[in-house]
Amino acid sequence: MKYLIAGLGNIGDEYANTRHNIGFNVLDALAGDVKFKQDRHAYVAEVKFKGRIFVLIKPTTYMNLSGKAVQYWMQAEKIPMENLLVVTDDIALPFGTIRIKGKGSDGGHNGLKSIQESIGSTEYARLRFGVGNEFAKGRQSDYVLGKWNDEESKLLPERIAKCCEAVKAFGTIGIGLTMTNYNGK
């Protein structure tokens, strides 16, 4: 059983440790000692867990074109839609809150919009990581592209570990129980 786990973010040192790159952070933690290699449209790593293979991708297409990488790797690895999970940031959720859904709108998120357009569906699972919305009107871009504050940085490792558990659960117990066990946690 193969799963495609797409962690959204932007490549480049200037984007490292920013709120928008939480998808990359979760995949780095999930990969552990497994190194990512640069491949077509993404950095790719493969992790095995309880008889499942998780193909982890960190798109190199930048956030707004994430769908190009997701579509390519779904086809290349022959991964069905129900085995796709996208990990992304969400300003509509308080910091550290996890919300997993089996389908839904892009919610104004350009990475999710790109995926929806590229794969022609909203019927894919996503794990949204709350980054909060502590920004002034019109400053959303600066906020999501900003670095974590000291308080967030302290709590981040535990929250990322919880996301890793949720990703593994998605592949082993399914979307329904994963939502029950992790949403709002």
Q: Which of 73, 64, 68 is nearest to 45 (CA)?
A: 73
Q: Which amino acid is at 95?
A: F
Determine which one of 20, 58, 68, 168 is catalytic.
Answer: 20
Tell me if residue 20 is catalytic: yes
Bridge partners of residue 128, in order along the sequence: 88, 99
Contacts of range 151-156, beta carbons closer than 8 Å, 24 or more positions apart:
152/95, 152/96, 155/95, 155/96, 156/25, 156/96
Catalytic annotation, residues: 20
